[in-house]
Structure 1
Amino acid sequence: MSESEIGPNRVTATGARGAAATLSPATNHRTPGVADAPGGVRRPGLILATLLVGYFMALLDGSIVNVALPSIREKLHANGASLQMVAAGYIIAYAVLLVTGARLGRILGHERLFKAGLAGFTIASLACGLAQNSGELIIFRVIQGIAAAVMLPQVLSLIQQTFQGEARAKAMSAWTAVLASGIVVGQVLGGVLVTANLFGWSWRPVFLVNVPIGIVLWIASIRALPSVKPQNSAANNKVDLAGVLTLSPTILALVVPLVLGHDEHWPIWGWVLLAATVPLLVLFLAVERRVARRGDSPILPGRILEMSGMKPSLVLIFLVMVVYAGNLFATAIHLQGALGFSALKTGLAFAPCALAFGLVSYFWRNIPAHLIRRFSVIGLVIGAASMAAQIWMFKDGGYGGVWFYLNQMVFGLGVGIGNAPTMTLALMRVPVTEAADASGTLATNAQLAQVVGIASLGTLYLTVAAGHAVHAAGQAMAYLSGAGVVVTLVAVGFAYYLYNLDKHERAAKAAAAL
């Protein structure tokens, strides 16, 4: 990757850090409309902390509930399908509306949407913590997801438009670390809160903890966030309502049967919905092409997808996040339900993975630029090997003891090396003016992958674990781990393709320079 150009950004041989920090004049400027104090960004530390803590809080809620599921089952008498909907309902709403949230930020102003989403998220968290039955909890989780979809796309856009040069590179690395580690840290924090049983509230502090944090962040956002004028234009001043109305049923047709199928004994309507996913997807793509031909901006922007390396990057990220989210969901249930771990012990079991994933995601820029893609391939091979090791650990009803914790660290290390650079390098190809749509597309892709991972791998685990064989739950984890190996190896193929794509681009640019 040395001596090459990625989109508008010039990448030098100084390494990945230089790639993110050294920008061409086309992007190394202050976006019009950003309010700054003379001499630069006002309170940059407070701005970044406000954005990233809000982002982290919303990401945590995608997984913090996993460790609390057994307590929710006991206190609210919830069945398996309800538990999956408590976990997946938030992510479904979040995933479906993320790109729309990004578009609304362009229309109404990113800082306005961040504050509105933060307020909604805080109120919905309070409602979740006070829910009296599983139905109420699922509804409030969906509302929470909608608020997160309004808030989160604004974070990267505000970072892109507020920071410059090395400050922007550091801010984006911090954002990537938060994105990568938020899911696992949620499991750890969930275990701590459930075990603490604050005020005798059992699982409720998992949601109520967001309330004081949200209030503090909302006050900080009023004081710190720069005012960004809406980026209205003829093509971008509309929400793609047709796209939302066709994408939403497509996702629901895929996810709902996977989530409810096990508890409903795989009824005919579930198979009908799964079969309908294909024509619904075709309809969605046709609608998007029509929106683009009219000169409007579709929810799935073709100009973003056509950027070099974007499509394989999206597929790679999707596959990795399917394995990541599905494995965490099933492992949390298995450790508590089958092996009798406490919520605290279950949460702390994921700490090595969280630490490795977070550190790799922040410090990967120190890898020499020409080795980044090669490291991505190696990292995913390590991740596949780690999933394979889980088969041995779980199949006979145990969990591997100390080897399990070491394997969690190896898994976090491998998947972090494979995934974090892919996300950031994909965004580096995108001009600042396209940051909102690009970040929305990438984040939507990652969140949809989590939904599919929880629904598909979670269903696989629950189905096999319900059998009557000796160590059925252990065998379920072995089957899940085997599926994870296969999916991760497919991701290795896409990482290898991206590695060769970069080599070919470097060669083509070198030849053009002669």
Structure 2
Amino acid sequence: MAVGQVVDGLLVSADPFGSGWRPVFLVNVPIGLALLAASRRLLPDLPGDAGRGFDLPGLLTLAAALGLLVVPLVLGHELGWPAWGWAMLGGSALMFAVFAAVERRTAVRGGRPLIAGRVLGAPGLLPAAGAIFLIMAGFAGFMFAFALHQQAGLGRSALLAGLDSAPVAVAFGAASLLWQRVPQRLHRPLPVLGLALVAPGYVLVGLLLRGGGTVGMPEQAVLTVTGLAAGCAYSPLFARALGRVDPADAADASGVMVTVLQLGQVIGVTLLGTVFLGRVSYPAGAAASGHALLVTTAAIGGALAAAAVLAGRTGRAA
């Protein structure tokens, strides 16, 4: 995450061949191809993989449901929320219902549904997934709004904006990897304690930057602590989500969690980006942009307070 923020800023600032922002997406293509080639040599064949089957109807209906949800959210604000966007959102709800029916029918017929009902019933999985969804939505939404404020509001380059975002990303990643070094007695309440710091942390960043000032040491300190706290909430929740899943359902459960992660980031960028852009129209002054950031961080704080409630429910199942 941290490297991506900086490298993407560097790519945008370099503007190779006049391509603007496009290289930040194109860079994923060679990385993906390299990983695909490496996977054939490095990933093991697991017992039962060959006979697992492929739930094509479930995959198609879920893809349709997600597409109908994401497209209007991504384009809605820019296009003035046209009628077809609302129709797609309604169609998304319908397709999610169809997906649930398809999965039930597949299970009744003895097949292997894309998401088995017993996976969602694993103790702690649903509240942990909900909390992680909100954490990633808040994180992605903040990164999006913070980058816009830095570049469009304060006139900083994409590279400098990426560097300003690096501390929270580095802290998030470090805490996600090292949280188990926290004393054992704190492991159970750690997600709630972390979120109790994250929610006001984002709001405090918004308060510090509301006047249109640049990011200094106080703001970076708050961002770092907020990233550390978010990582201390995220990884224990992920462990709880998968910790009591039957080993035979591990692949299904991990697929659910990866979908939750990706969807949380998309929803965070689109909804919180709409909150931010609904408060400011560029070109605008730094103070107006700072006020929009404050409103956005307040919304993030509310979402993460809800995540703390969900995280508390996972402690009962741990």
TM-score in terms of structure 1 length? 0.56
CA distance in 1, matches of 2:84, 2:31: 42
Provide the residue aligned with 2:65 in structure 1. Answer: 250
1:299 aligns with 2:114: yes
Q: How does 1:40-439 map to 2 (within 5 A)?
A: 182=1, 184-196=2-14, 203=21, 206=24, 221=39, 224-228=42-46, 231-233=49-51, 236-237=52-53, 239-439=54-254
Is the partner of 2:114 in helix, strand or coil?
coil
Q: 2:280 aligns with which of 453, 456, 465?
A: 465
CA distance in 2, matches of 1:301, 1:200: 47
What do residues 344-381 of structure 1 show as CA deviations (whole Å, max 9, x unaligned)? 21111122112211211111122344421311111011
CA distance in 1, matches of 2:151, 2:15: 16
Is the partner of 1:379 in helix, strand or coil?
helix
1:484 aligns with 2:279: no
Structure 1: 5+ residue stretches without partners: 1-181, 503-514
Higher relative contact order structure (alpha carbons within 8 Å, sequence separation ≥ 6)? 2
> 1:190–1:347: 8 Å Cα contact kept in structure 2?
yes
> 2:120–2:126: 8 Å Cα contact kept in structure 1?
yes
CA distance in 2, matches of 1:310, 1:215: 32
Q: Which ranges of 4 or more aligned residues in structure 1 deviate by more than 6 Å?
A: 198-201, 467-470
Q: CA deviation at 1:464?
A: 1.7
> 2:137–2:269: 8 Å Cα contact kept in structure 1?
yes
What do residues 409-447 of structure 1 show as CA deviations (whole Å, max 9, x unaligned)? 122111101111111232232344332212111111111
> 1:326–1:454: 8 Å Cα contact kept in structure 2?
yes
> 2:205–2:223: 8 Å Cα contact kept in structure 1?
no
Structure 2: 5+ residue stretches without partners: none
Which one-letter code corresponds to 2:307 in the other structure?
A
Q: CA deviation at 1:228?
A: 4.2
What do residues 31-62 of structure 1 show as CA deviations (whole Å, max 9, x unaligned)? xxxxxxxxxxxxxxxxxxxxxxxxxxxxxxxx
CA distance in 1, matches of 2:18, 2:109: 57
Is the partner of 1:300 in helix, strand or coil?
coil
What do residues 272-311 of structure 1 show as CA deviations (whole Å, max 9, x unaligned)? 3333333333232222222222221222221211111111
> 1:373–1:495: 8 Å Cα contact kept in structure 2?
no
Which one-letter code corresponds to 1:406 in the other structure?
A
CA distance in 1, matches of 2:303, 2:271: 12
Number of residue equivalences: 317
> Alpha carbon RMSD of aligned pairs, Å?
2.7
Is the partner of 2:49 in helix, strand or coil?
coil
Q: CA deviation at 1:195?
A: 3.5
Provide the residue aligned with 1:109 in structure 2. Answer: none
Given the superposition, is the C-alpha separation of residues 366 and 281 from structure 1 closer, same or farther in structure 2, using an over 3 Å criterion? same
> 2:128–2:314: 8 Å Cα contact kept in structure 1?
yes
TM-score in terms of structure 2 length? 0.88
Q: CA deviation at 1:314?
A: 0.9
Provide the residue aligned with 1:444 in structure 2. Answer: 259
> 1:465–1:474: 8 Å Cα contact kept in structure 2?
no
What do residues 228-261 of structure 1 show as CA deviations (whole Å, max 9, x unaligned)? 455244xx31x22222232223222322222212
CA distance in 1, matches of 2:196, 2:214: 22
Is the partner of 2:261 in helix, strand or coil?
helix
Which one-letter code corresponds to 2:49 in the other structure?
Q
Which has the larger displacement, 421-430 or 478-487? Answer: 421-430
Tell me the percent identity.
42
CA distance in 2, matches of 1:338, 1:468: 8
Given the superposition, is the C-alpha separation of residues 267 and 290 from structure 1 closer, same or farther in structure 2, using an over 3 Å criterion? same
Q: CA deviation at 1:220?
A: 5.3
